[in-house]
Structure 1
Amino acid sequence: MGYVKTAMLMAAMTALFMGVGYLIGGSGGALIALVVAGAMNVISWWNSDKMVLRMNGAQYLAPGDRYGLNDMVGQLADRAGLPHPAVYLMDQPQPNAFATGRNPQNAAVAVTSGLLRNLSREEVAGVVAHELAHIRNRDTAIMTVTATFAGAISMLANFALFFGGSRERAGLLGTIALMILAPLAATLVQMAISRSREYEADRIGAEICGNPEWLASALEGLQRTVPRIDNMAAERNPATAHMFIINPLHGGKMDNLFATHPATENRVAALRAMDGGARPAASAVSPQRPRPASPRSGPWG
């Protein structure tokens, strides 16, 4: 079902891409946009994960890393019944994370250095489990493809400012509306995808890591810390914001309709309402070092 939804999204994005091309250059513009969109569909399916990782400055973290992060991801992936995803580290002070990949066999989990510095090992496990839930639910394909297309549509729509569009079809007012509405349409798709799936990823992530409180505590810590620290890579590539566990952008307070993520307090409340009787023993994640006294200082070296 995830592949069907992804195909439908790619078809809708292609149609929107062609509409922008038509308003900019008429039939010729629509044809060029179709060719470009076709190439983008192929590139997005096979390489969008690498593109998103590169946009956010993620560096591959080999097994046996000094943080023990690969070991943790491997343990949690085994619990989730998933192949071990590649692990990436983003040199960003803002604590955050995302998952990407077209399927579980070609997936990656990326975390920031700030996440390792600000959260305990158990809280990081909760965050990683949330991202593995996205992989198991096959959310990552549609989220990654959307990020690639949304960025491209925004860029194409902005061309209207320079080329003016086809005056007899759109006119100056239509061109200005196009510049606003085309990126907005792509953004609304991002919002719908993220908002509808985060609660489910939280629930399944809590089951994977074995303790809903780990993820609930992590979300509370992220909500306190993320707004105070800029993520410049995400600010340069806002089309990827919906992929992160917490919105990395600092756009100020907006109406809930325009939020890329559900309210954190609602997510925390849902996690804490889960049945605690389902929690397994602490072996869900085997700590390689003692848990620190402070929950905000993770043992990550």
Structure 2
Amino acid sequence: MATNFFQQQDSARRKTSQLVVYFVLAIVILIALVYGLLVALSMYGSHEPVSWWQPELLLIAAPGVGIVVGGASAFKVAQLASGGQAVALMLGGKEVPGTTTDARQKRLLNVVEEMALAAGVPVPPVYVLNEPGINAFAAGYAPGDAVIAVSEGCLNYLSRDELQGVVAHEFSHVLNGDMRLNIRLIGLVFGIMALSIIGRSLMFASRARSPGRRDSQGGVMLLGLGVLVLGLVGAFFGRLIMAAVSRQREYLADASAVQFTRNPDGIGGALKKIGGLAEGSRIGNPQAVEAAHMFFANAFASGGLAGLLATHPPLVERIRRLDPQFDGQFPEVRPVGVDREELEGARRGRTPPLAGVPTIPGLPQVPVPVLGFANEVVSRVGHVDPDVISYAQGLNDGMPDVLRAAAQEPFSARALVYALLMDPRADLRERQLTALKAGADPRDFAETSRLVAAAHALADTHRLPLLDLALPALRQMSPQQHRAFRAQVEVLISADQQLSLFEYTLRCVLHRHLDAQFLRQRQTRSVHSSAQKLVQPVATVLALVAWEGHPEPDHATQAFDTGMRSYMGDQHSHRLPPRVECSLAAFDAALQVLNEAVPPIKLRIVVACAACIVADQQVTLREAELIRAICDTLDCPLPPLTVGKAKGL
């Protein structure tokens, strides 16, 4: 349900505040322990009584611990500033190219692509960890910079349904706002554990000192040993914080995976195979200790005291929540093969989306019946179900081979975007091609010319999903290539001196999900908690939504009023401005402000937009693109509006 999505986003935000409280408490305890250590060292070799209260030592301990822990945390967060990719590389992951010929990797890519299209998020890059156990993780600050990583054990031992269950579990973390929390947790825990690193350094330094300075050497050795012990205490607190924050989120992700797939045997089977596999879910990479809370299952042994500090619930308990009849006996685990038929062409018996519904290339104006009530539309935000997954599989299978191959190859992906921007009108398209020939690499121009016809014939419903499929390949550009690509997109968009809704949506997707990687950007923070203070930007957004979906002034006014009443109630006093005053530039500026709202306010915004769109009980593909742009900007993933054959067509 949508409320669950926004509730979980708000819960993740509150968990971040809770994490800060834990972090401060841990620092206070460490300051007290370091102060005690300094007092003890001051007594070392002293023949005079020493007081336990020495303010000058406290003035050394408090700033010292604060600088060390805070500095180390800031360093680690900065190290991971690029998002999920940095975490995947830190853990030894290797990206799976879209052009891979490995059957197991292709199956993995298919599962991730289908889940991403069904969830309404960009297709994330996929990494494989060289680990024999069964494990996985999702990492990033937001869906736009997320990555999915799985171990070799997942590819070797899991069936497609089990792999889908694991991927669905990780997509739940993407949708529920857990990823940003997890990266912050890495930074904070690293800072707390930094004292152990300093302690080891001091002990090594003491061994290297001159043997003639034994008193000094002994003092440094004791100091190093004491700091090392305090570092281990810090590690204990760090693991406690990890366990406190992550355990319940894992139960939620398991339940969401079942909700997404309606197949408890998928994720349940994967968990049972972890129990039956000799390697279990263990991760051998030494960096994994910093990211243990991010994994699908425990990355380390979890018995005894380790069980108390485990970042995940007990394996048997997780399985029994999915399969109450589980008897505790784990299956014998053997490698599984890959059915190559599922990797080649459309699956038998699947109906392509929008079969029989006419489309007008480049002008998505065909009305199609969709969900009739705003709350039903909004209930899809952050929610995936098997019907939508099946629809996404149909979208995926229905992509022309030439375009799908282009979306998977970094060089051709740029040309594919250029081809999608080509206008259906021949004279304007020639003008765009002339500009492209003058400004782009000759190979880009030749590849674009090759793809134009196929892109022109592509159904309107497939254009944005195709762009989503191309994003992993586009992320492989160099910074220089990205600058040239970004500039060329602007040239093609401005060829007719107008900005169409599709061009705006495409540019919005590219900027949000590529700029985060190639350009330094501040992370969006939730700072607006008052619905009343956001009325004006909401009205700006609803005005454009009303005019785009309802050209007749009376109908547009009714739609605008419906949206405003949904947001503010019957007492609102805003009036729909004239069409000429509603620009995409003002619309975009208003959305940037609204993106800084807290999740409960975002819920009201999306409900209001949906109410405005469905005021006439139908949604055009043009409106579907608009609501996609709105939800994408607000970080509220909206799955495709499942459509059927339009009445009267």
Q: What range describes the TM-score normalised by the shorter chain of this pair?
A: 0.7 to 0.9
Instruction: Kindly provide the amino acid, as one letter, of the partner of residue 311 in structure 2.
Output: T
Q: Find the partner of 1:112 among 151, 168, 172.
A: 151
Instruction: Kindly provide the amino acid, as one letter, of the partner of residue 108 in structure 1.
Output: V
Which residue is equivalent to 1:133?
172
Q: Would the alpha carbon gap of residues 259 and 286 (structure 1) be closer, same or farther in structure 2, given more than 3 Å must change? A: same
Post-superposition offset of 1:15: 6.8
Which residue is equivalent to 1:94?
133
Superposition pairs of residues 290-301 of structure 1, within 5 angstroms:
none
Q: Find the partner of 1:239 among 264, 286, 290.
A: 290
Which residue is equivalent to 1:296?
none
Post-superposition offset of 1:250: 3.2
Instruction: Kindly provide the amino acid, as one letter, of the partner of residue 15 in structure 2.
Output: K
Which residue is equivalent to 2:230?
178
Post-superposition offset of 1:63: 2.5
Which sits farther off after the overlay, 8-17 or 211-220? 8-17
1:248 aligns with 2:287: no
Superposition pairs of residues 125-274 of structure 1, within 5 angstroms:
125-160=164-199, 162-163=201-202, 175=227, 178-225=230-277, 227=279, 231-233=283-285, 235-250=286-301, 252-254=303-305, 256-272=307-323
Q: Would the alpha carbon gap of residues 239 and 65 (structure 1) be closer, same or farther in structure 2, given more than 3 Å must change? A: same
Which residue is equivalent to 1:299?
none
Which sits farther off after the overlay, 196-205 or 147-156? 147-156
Post-superposition offset of 1:216: 0.6
What is the CA–CA distance in structure 2 between the aligned matches of 1:215 and 1:230, rounded to whole Å? 18
Which residue is equivalent to 1:43?
78
What is the CA–CA distance in structure 2 between the aligned matches of 1:229 and 1:202, rounded to whole Å? 16
Instruction: Kindly provide the amino acid, as one letter, of the partner of residue 87 in structure 2.
Output: V
Tell me the alpha carbon deviations over residues 205-230 of structure 1, each in whole angstroms, 9 at most, x when there is no partner: 11223312111111101222164585
Post-superposition offset of 1:252: 4.6
Tell me the alpha carbon deviations over residues 154-194 of structure 1, each in whole angstroms, 9 at most, x when there is no partner: 23234235549xx9xxx899756523321111111111122
What is the CA–CA distance in structure 2 between the aligned matches of 1:228 and 1:87, rounded to whole Å? 22
Paired residues of 2:274 and 2:281 also in contact (CA < 8 A): no
What is the CA–CA distance in structure 2 between the aligned matches of 1:211 and 1:221, rounded to whole Å? 16
Which sits farther off after the overlay, 72-81 or 110-119? 72-81
Instruction: Kindly provide the amino acid, as one letter, of the partner of residue 52 in structure 1.
Output: V
Paired residues of 2:73 and 2:191 also in contact (CA < 8 A): no
Q: Find the partner of 2:64 among 11, 25, 29.
A: 29
What is the CA–CA distance in structure 2 between the aligned matches of 1:261 and 1:47, rounded to whole Å? 26
Which residue is equivalent to 1:292?
none
Paired residues of 1:48 and 1:148 also in contact (CA < 8 A): no
- TM-score, length of structure 1 as denominator length: 0.77
Instruction: Kindly provide the amino acid, as one letter, of the partner of residue 159 in structure 1.
Output: I
What is the CA–CA distance in structure 1 between the aligned matches of 2:72 and 2:23, rounded to whole Å? 8
Q: Would the alpha carbon gap of residues 62 and 172 (structure 1) be closer, same or farther in structure 2, given more than 3 Å must change? A: closer
Q: Find the partner of 1:53 among 88, 106, 119.
A: 88
Post-superposition offset of 1:53: 1.4
Post-superposition offset of 1:126: 0.5
Which residue is equivalent to 1:65?
100
Which residue is equivalent to 1:295?
none
Q: Would the alpha carbon gap of residues 80 and 212 (structure 1) be closer, same or farther in structure 2, given more than 3 Å must change? A: farther
What is the CA–CA distance in structure 2 between the aligned matches of 1:253 and 1:284, rounded to whole Å? 46
Which residue is equivalent to 2:337?
none
Post-superposition offset of 1:8: 4.9
Paired residues of 1:18 and 1:34 also in contact (CA < 8 A): no
Q: Would the alpha carbon gap of residues 188 and 226 (structure 1) be closer, same or farther in structure 2, given more than 3 Å must change? A: farther
Q: Find the partner of 1:6 among 16, 25, 49.
A: 16
Paired residues of 1:44 and 1:148 also in contact (CA < 8 A): no
Q: Would the alpha carbon gap of residues 153 and 34 (structure 1) be closer, same or farther in structure 2, given more than 3 Å must change? A: closer
User: Which runs of no fewer than 5 residues in structure 1 stay unpaired?
Assistant: 289-301
**Aligned-partner SS, 2:170:** helix
**Aligned-partner SS, 1:241:** helix
Paired residues of 1:94 and 1:231 also in contact (CA < 8 A): yes
What is the CA–CA distance in structure 1 between the aligned matches of 2:86 and 2:251, rounded to whole Å? 26
State which structure, 1 or 2, has the greater radius of gyration over its C-alpha atoms. Answer: 2
Paired residues of 1:211 and 1:279 also in contact (CA < 8 A): no
What is the CA–CA distance in structure 2 between the aligned matches of 1:76 and 1:7, rounded to whole Å? 30
**Aligned-partner SS, 1:98:** strand
What is the CA–CA distance in structure 1 between the aligned matches of 2:391 and 2:158, rounded to whole Å? 17
User: Which runs of no fewer than 5 residues in structure 2 stay unpaired?
Assistant: 1-9, 39-59, 204-218, 325-384, 397-649
What is the CA–CA distance in structure 1 between the aligned matches of 2:73 and 2:170, rounded to whole Å? 29
Instruction: Kindly provide the amino acid, as one letter, of the partner of residue 89 in structure 2.
Output: R
What is the CA–CA distance in structure 1 between the aligned matches of 2:161 and 2:78, rounded to whole Å? 37
Tell me the alpha carbon deviations over residues 112-171 of structure 1, each in whole angstroms, 9 at most, x when there is no partner: 12210111111101100000011111111112221233234223234235549xx9xxx8
**Aligned-partner SS, 2:277:** helix
